[in-house]
Amino acid sequence: MSAVPKNRLRQRAVKRDPHGGDLFVFRGRAGSLVKLIWHDGIGMSLYSKRLENGRFVWPSAKDGTVSLTASQLACLLDGIDWRNPQYSWRPQSAG
């Protein structure tokens, strides 16, 4: 049996090209840490964020991957429940 590098196993697991411009987001076990990996055309970049309080709301991935809009990702990274964001105020009247 030949050894396969871990990055090849991950590439096969998510069935996406890591050099294709997609953003890959991974969450730590405790839920308070996320790591983002992407290829910007020059090289791989890594971003990590840890919440001091609370946990990141994580989507359930039925087939192993989830597609999020830019707004949903922004909410996720801010620790907001992106599935049902709540406004902090409501307008009293329109127009």
Nearest of 17, 12, 22 to residue 64 by alpha carbon = 12
Instruction: Tell me what pLDDT residue 49 has.
Output: 92
User: CA torsion 73→75→81→82, rounded to 10°?
Assistant: -50
pLDDT along the chain (95 residues), means of 10: 45 59 84 88 89 84 79 85 71 72
Instruction: Tell me what pLDDT residue 4 has.
Output: 40
- Whether this prediction's pTM lies above 0.75 is answered by no
Instruction: Tell me what pLDDT residue 57 has.
Output: 84
Instruction: Tell me what pLDDT residue 2 has.
Output: 41
Instruction: Specify the DSSP element, H or E, that contains 77.
Output: helix 70-77
Instruction: Tell me what pLDDT residue 11 has.
Output: 46
Instruction: Tell me what pLDDT residue 39 has.
Output: 84
